[in-house]
Amino acid sequence: MTRWWAAVIALAGAVILAIVATTPPGAVSANASTTVFSASRAMADVRVIGRAPHPTGSAEDAQVRNYLVARLKGMGLEVATATGTMSPAAKKRLDGWRKAVAPAPPLTNIIAILPGRDRAQPAVLLMAHHDSVW
């Protein structure tokens, strides 16, 4: 009987620990310190970026890219852009999405660097798309 209770108590403890360990922290207000992440502040950016589709090569994509560059510079990052060309396979896939054959748009990447204390140390890389689907 004692083992039965020990098992029940251990199981209950494991469930409580799992719930506590996976419960996210409460939301931070928009006027919290800028050194703290605020979902409210982040949602302002999401609303601007997500207000309309902005597929590769569109005017909307250029607007989103310009917004992101300005925001990143405003946060003190070193920002540059790099352009490239689309592969034939990617162009064919894009033509299928836009349901028209058109010239391949130029590709523009945003490179933003948040300088660390010691640039000789390893860096962290984050990559994400800033365009959307049609």
What are φ and ψ of residue 57, in 5° steps? 85, -5
Q: Is the pTM of this model over 0.75?
A: no
Q: What share of the chain is helix, strand, coil (3-state, %, to 5)?
A: 45, 10, 45
pLDDT given for residue 73 in this prediction: 95
Q: Please enumerate in sequence order all residues whose Cβ is within 8 A of that of 117, keeping only pairs 6 or more positions apart, or say none.
A: none
pLDDT of residue 74: 92
Q: Tell me, what's the pLDDT at 7?
A: 85
DSSP 43: H
What average pLDDT does the structure give for the chain? Answer: 89
Q: How far apart are CA 134 and CA 130, in angstroms?
A: 13
pLDDT for the residue numbered 1: 60
Q: Which parts of the chain register pLDDT below 70?
A: 1
**66-91: b or e for each residue (b if 16 or more CB lie within 10 Å)?**
eebbebbeeeeeebeeeeeebeeeeb
Question: Is 9 in a helix, a strand, or coil?
Answer: helix
Beta strands in 17-92 (DSSP E): 78-84
pLDDT score at 79? 93
For residue 110, list its beta bridge partners.
Answer: 81
